[in-house]
Amino acid sequence: MSRILTVDIGNSSIVAGVLNNGEPEFTGRIATMRDYGKKEITKALGGLLQDYLGQISDDYEEFTFKGAILSSVVPEINEVTLYAMEEITGTEPLLMSDKLITGIDISNYSKGKIGADRIVDLSAAKSMFKDRPVMVCDLGTCSTITVADENGKLIGGMIAPGVQLSLDAEAMRTAQLPQLSAGEVTEILGTDTASNMMSGAVAGAGMMISGAAERISADYKLDNMALVITGGLGSLVIPWINREVCYEKDLLLRGLNAIFELNASSYESEVDHAIRKKYSIRSYRGDRGLQVG
């Protein structure tokens, strides 16, 4: 088996995934807490993985991880998360940075600085559409658009308030608009306040993406540009996008796996440890977290 543990720290949630030979086998999420300590984050991630590991393997001595990789937009908890990942897998994790090979040329971008998650998304999209320009839209806390040409050169991008963030801001900054959770929109014109707000946020996001894709494709002469959507709200927004779309909910995890493999030859840790010999998920108990045996 060739299992990789991937962890992505976003502004709202931390998503952990296990990929086996490049295919997602498990995903789970916990809330992003900026005051996580080593024990707390190890306990939280270990709790996510405990049931999954028990379901797929009764032979704990034989279960192995090939490696692990972390992507983060919350750098203050990188160190404790890397610690937890090493405790869980028995391998030293890679940290997504400009030092890793990604297959994406970011020299166009100001000072070469762009969110790690956006590069990971692009790397995954380019692995899917090797000879085509790609536009990736990640519908998270913010809605990000990131575009690369057919050679994998980053052209640029856009950032807008996310669907839920827009609804939250309307409720927070006005006296009479209600707090809503993003939901399905079937008619573009609402007939009450709530449906007006929902259409503006959900259908509006889809139409923004449609318009942006059309304009970007024309302005930058990106013929046959592939549009890739990811993020939990994709299923709500996609019906309002007026062009062919590829929806991949695990895009970021696939990208992390692809980047790990691109850098595997220079991976300094000894990999393929039998983690159950030293690192026992089964010993997870209450507030003690993962115990090194």
Judgement on whether residues 179 and 231 belong to the same structural domain of the protein: yes
230: exposed, middle or buried (Cβ count in 10 Å: 0-12, 13-18, 19+): buried
pLDDT in tens, 260-273: 998 987 654 444 44
pLDDT in tens, 13-58: 899 999 988 889 888 888 899 989 899 999 999 888 876 776 665 5
DSSP run (H or E) holding 160: strand 154-161
Judgement on whether residues 141 and 72 belong to the same structural domain of the protein: no
The pLDDT assigned to 63 comes to: 62
The pLDDT assigned to 57 comes to: 58
Name the pTM for this structure: 0.80
pLDDT in tens, 62-104: 567 889 999 998 999 999 999 999 998 888 999 998 888 999 9
Judgement on whether residues 207 and 157 belong to the same structural domain of the protein: yes
Q: Is 117 a catalytic residue?
A: yes
Domain assignment present for residue 103? The answer is no
How far, rounded to the nearest angstrom, does the alpha carbon of residue 165 sit from its chain's CA centroid? Answer: 18
- Residue 33: CATH number of its domain: 3.30.420.40
Supply the range of the domain harboring residue 131. Answer: 110-254
The pLDDT assigned to 21 comes to: 86
Domains of the chain: total: 2
Considering the candidates 98, 105, 117, 192, report the single residue annotated as catalytic: 117
